[in-house]
Amino acid sequence: MSLSKTPYRGTRDFFPAQKRERDYLFATMTKIAYRFGYESYDGPLLEEVELYKAKSGEELINEQIYSFVDRGERFVAIRPEMTPTLARMVAQIHRETPKPIRWFSLPNLMRYEKPQRGRLREHWQLNCDLFGGPAALSEAEILSLLVQILNELGATQEHFEILINDRRIVDGLFQTKLKLEEAVIYRLYKIIDKSKKVSAEALTKMITELQLTTEAEELFQEYLNLKTINDLQAFLKKTDLEQTAQEFQSFWDYSIAFGVAPYLQYDPTIVRGLDYYTGIVFEAFDKNPENRRALCGGGAYSSLLKIFNEEPVPGVGFGLGDVTLTDFLKTHKLMPDLSKPVNDLFLSCQDDAGLTSVIAVSQSLRKRGLNLVVGLEAIKMKKVFSSAEKSGAAFVGLMGSDEITKKELQLKNLATGEQKSFALNDCDGMENFLKG
Amino acid sequence: MSLSKTPYRGTRDFFPAQKRERDYLFATMTKIAYRFGYESYDGPLLEEVELYKAKSGEELINEQIYSFVDRGERFVAIRPEMTPTLARMVAQIHRETPKPIRWFSLPNLMRYEKPQRGRLREHWQLNCDLFGGPAALSEAEILSLLVQILNELGATQEHFEILINDRRIVDGLFQTKLKLEEAVIYRLYKIIDKSKKVSAEALTKMITELQLTTEAEELFQEYLNLKTINDLQAFLKKTDLEQTAQEFQSFWDYSIAFGVAPYLQYDPTIVRGLDYYTGIVFEAFDKNPENRRALCGGGAYSSLLKIFNEEPVPGVGFGLGDVTLTDFLKTHKLMPDLSKPVNDLFLSCQDDAGLTSVIAVSQSLRKRGLNLVVGLEAIKMKKVFSSAEKSGAAFVGLMGSDEITKKELQLKNLATGEQKSFALNDCDGMENFLKG
């Protein structure tokens, strides 16, 4: 019997070249998160299913999670997202932890998806969250963190935009201004969610079916047609949503201060998870129409800890997945060439009698912080350079029978062609040449 | 209803302080792996159960893995170890990849364990493997990699030792010298495995039950009493296992060249997985008798790819888990104090009117590579310094009403007490002061 060599459906084997791409993304994300003072955390791979049900409701649970009963009769799931774990952890420590809390994580997550472009069963997701800060500044900061990560990866306004909305606007319109019933509001949210995917006729039909007052129907249609921040401010003034207008203006002012405003595009159809978000909501999109998927989604929420019977702690956060991000970077040719490793030196001997010396030298150079690939048997001259090239080494070390007799080795700079002999005990000289 | 805030049994919440410890371990492991030219890889969280059965047999599968049937009727498991995934990946690429292949990974793994000190259900494990190199040198190199990782973490000969054996010795004694039947050999291996855990009487009783010849019984007892490399070489000579003696001597010579010999202690009771290892086998142990658990285990194997009907590619590798390693480092007080984050600057204003300026300055300093925590609302002078201290910042930035008027901010070095005013647009001056 022969086993399959392919990975489980919807998951990936990360051979070194692919792993270097992932490492590059994660190192960049981590570097920028540290610039903003975010601290890294992680949680368990498994959580009890109850936790996901409490946060996301039955639908996600029944259709999309990898759940099973463990040997101790616990109903558990492989984490499909990080937020419930984050909520559980923050619930443990928020009382005694100074605010704001700034955390990020890079977990592997699994969802039972039908694999397709941009969507796999296992993916990694950067999660950044800020708890307990004032709303407008926190929202602007988290957007700035996102923008700077994408900037550091080489992406600019030419490549992506962030569509934003504010749940306080939609809630203000439906509740404060139009005083609609909860069931109607729920259906209006569903209509908003679908509005970009259906024709104008279908949209009008869905709205008409709700039998709203003429005023409500007109305002709702007007809302759906808002295109800019200026449109929005005029609309908020007209609908007497003064407080919401002020809150949004405050967020907007801080977005300018953080330098993120040029990336933001108002979009009334962005509402995201109905029961979860309470303030700014946003989605980052590739501007290339061929890769029109959300790169990232997030927003402000206030009752994350409710499921633990804890007092509300306002938060704002986003998730940025590795699959769509990699597609995005490659579409725009922003992913660096990481097909080869990077090493300082490929060290070889051309005669087995040199092996022990080569090992001794390699150990000395490693202690000096150099990265070395050592040939573990004699390598013929004509093969050395192609092997060195594949190892991504900047220098080659050679030791033939002449060098063995003279207790020397040759180092050659592959970029400049410069070549030099060193006594085997002259590690200072070798280090200088290699780092030179 | 209120949900539990505790993590799933046998798993851990990594709050930032714990996560920094894990990051410190992983960064050190990765740095040293790169010094040896090892390339990072990763695989899927789930594999088909058949893969684990093929490698480890039914026992592990039935008792210790997290397995379940997915929604597509595939019988899958959360990876309990990395080797089967590694084998699957190497089987895909070994034909066209230059040897030796040097790879490492740092996966999270799950086993259904009864949680106890040093043993949890979810852990992380460094896996380092070298394929296709000559046996003796490859074995010595992988041991050197392990030793240098532990050295870099501060551990020396005072703290740990590596018990080694060679499966060719045991197989040579049983097969070549004594010509025992397979069933007897299997029982002798089980006796070796138990020999340290039972009394001398119980051991003798187990051996007697096998009804070996007098010569065989005496040689086996003599084998079990070998204490040093010298004992071993004399024993191999006496038993006419010349080739094995040469192979072991070659390994030993290279261990001296790599500088790892002082860490090695011969131990005839180390045999490890019966059907898997074929050369050197080893386990690293804490020398502290209170923490007498294997930190790490590994060895040389030759038929890893057999389950894929692929030609044999010799390999040698080890696994080093984070749970026992953390216990080990803490027992010996080798874990650095990572209770606080590290930041360059805690930047605050004492009046909300300064917030926009503080944001603008923070963004400029971030672009210069500095790590900043910014207060998102005015912070009173008497609270600033304790907040800054908790953020692990080296400097504090202050902006009261005076500074706002003068368009300045004050930076204070928390270590030296030195304090200086800077114009808000003097980011060069601030950068120089902060980078000291």
Those residues whose C-beta lies under 8 Å from the C-beta of residue A321, and which sit 6 or more positions away, are: A123, A124, A125, A126, A295, A296
Nearest by CB to residue B376, choosing from A40, A110, A138, is A138
Q: Which chain B residues are within 8 Å of A5, Cβ to Cβ? A: 88, 91-92, 308
Give the integer Cα–Cα distance in Å for A105 and A125.
8
How large is the average pLDDT for residues B66-81?
Answer: 94
Q: Which chain B residues are within 8 Å of A39, Cβ to Cβ? A: 16, 19-20, 341
Supply B247's token pair.
Answer: 């192979």
Cross-chain Cβ contact A8/B74 below 8 Å: yes
Cross-chain Cβ contact A122/B45 below 8 Å: yes
Fold of B16-44+79-331: BirA Bifunctional Protein; domain 2 (3.30.930)
How large is the average pLDDT for residues A192-214?
Answer: 93
pLDDT bucket at A117, cuts 50 / 70 / 90: confident
**Bigger pLDDT: A284 or A71?**
A284
**pLDDT of B63 above 80:** no
How large is the average pLDDT for residues A362-386?
Answer: 97
DSSP tag of A311: P
Task: For A103, name the nearest residue in chain B, comparing CA atoms only.
Answer: B16
Residues A166, A248 contacting (CB under 8 angstroms): yes
Residues B255, B138 contacting (CB under 8 angstroms): no
How large is the average pLDDT for residues A281-286?
Answer: 97
Per-residue confidence (pLDDT) for residue B60, from 0 to 100: 63
Tell how far CA B429 is from the center of its chain: 43
pTM strictly above 0.90: yes
Whose CA is closest to B395, among B435, B368, B340, B427?
B435
Among B1, B6, B12, B13, the residue to mutate for chain A (most A Cβ within 10 A) = B13
In a 3-state reduction of DSSP, which class is residue B321?
A: strand
Cross-chain Cβ contact B11/A46 below 8 Å: yes
Beta strand spans in A329-424 (E): 343-347, 372-374, 393-398, 408-413, 419-423
Q: For B294-328, what is each residue's pLDDT tens digit?
A: 999 999 999 889 889 999 999 999 999 999 999 99
Among B1, B2, B3, B146, the residue to mutate for chain A (most A Cβ within 10 A) = B3
Q: Where are the domains of chain B?
A: 16-44+79-331, 343-435
Cross-chain Cβ contact B258/A71 below 8 Å: no
Tokens 């609270």 identify what position?
A: B383
Per-residue confidence (pLDDT) for residue B171, from 0 to 100: 94
Per-residue confidence (pLDDT) for residue B65, from 0 to 100: 92
Cross-chain Cβ contact B374/A72 below 8 Å: no
Residues B37, B46 contacting (CB under 8 angstroms): no
Interface A–B counts its CB contacts (< 8 A) at 233
Q: Is cis: bond before A100, omega within 30 of 0? A: yes
DSSP tag of A116: B
Tokens 């030759």 identify what position?
A: B302
Closest-CA distance, B336 to chain A, in angstroms, reads 17
Q: Which chain B residues are within 8 Å of A88, Cβ to Cβ? A: 3, 5, 7, 13
Can you list the alpha helix ranges (DSSP code H) found in A94-157?
Answer: 135-152
The torsion angle over the Cα atoms of residues B409, B411, B417 and B419, rounded to 10 degrees, is -50
CATH of A16-331, one of 3.30.930.10, 3.20.20.70, 3.40.50.2300, 3.30.465.10: 3.30.930.10
How large is the average pLDDT for residues B330-359?
Answer: 97
Mean pLDDT of chain B: 95
Give the integer Cα–Cα distance in Å for B422 and A20.
41
Q: For A299-355, what is each residue's pLDDT tens digit?
A: 999 988 988 999 999 999 999 999 999 999 999 999 999 999 999 999 999 999 999
The rounded percent of chain A whose pLDDT value lies above 90 is: 90
Cross-chain Cβ contact A366/B258 below 8 Å: no
Those residues whose C-beta lies under 8 Å from the C-beta of residue A362, and which sit 6 or more positions away, are: A347, A372, A374
Per-residue confidence (pLDDT) for residue B59, from 0 to 100: 65
CATH 3.30.460.10 for domain B343-435, yes or no, is no
Cross-chain Cβ contact A138/B371 below 8 Å: no
How large is the average pLDDT for residues B256-280?
Answer: 94
pLDDT bucket at A288, cuts 50 / 70 / 90: confident
Per-residue confidence (pLDDT) for residue B162, from 0 to 100: 98
Q: For B77-108, what is each residue's pLDDT tens digit?
A: 999 999 999 999 999 999 999 999 999 999 99
Q: For B20-49, what is each residue's pLDDT tens digit?
A: 999 999 999 999 999 999 999 999 999 999
**Bigger pLDDT: B290 or A104?**
A104
Helix (H) or strand (E) holding A87: helix A83-93
Give the integer Cα–Cα distance in Å for B368 and B360.
13
Whose CA is closest to B109, among B322, B258, B306, B297?
B322
**pLDDT of B1 above 60:** no
Cross-chain Cβ contact A20/B40 below 8 Å: yes
pLDDT bucket at A209, cuts 50 / 70 / 90: very high
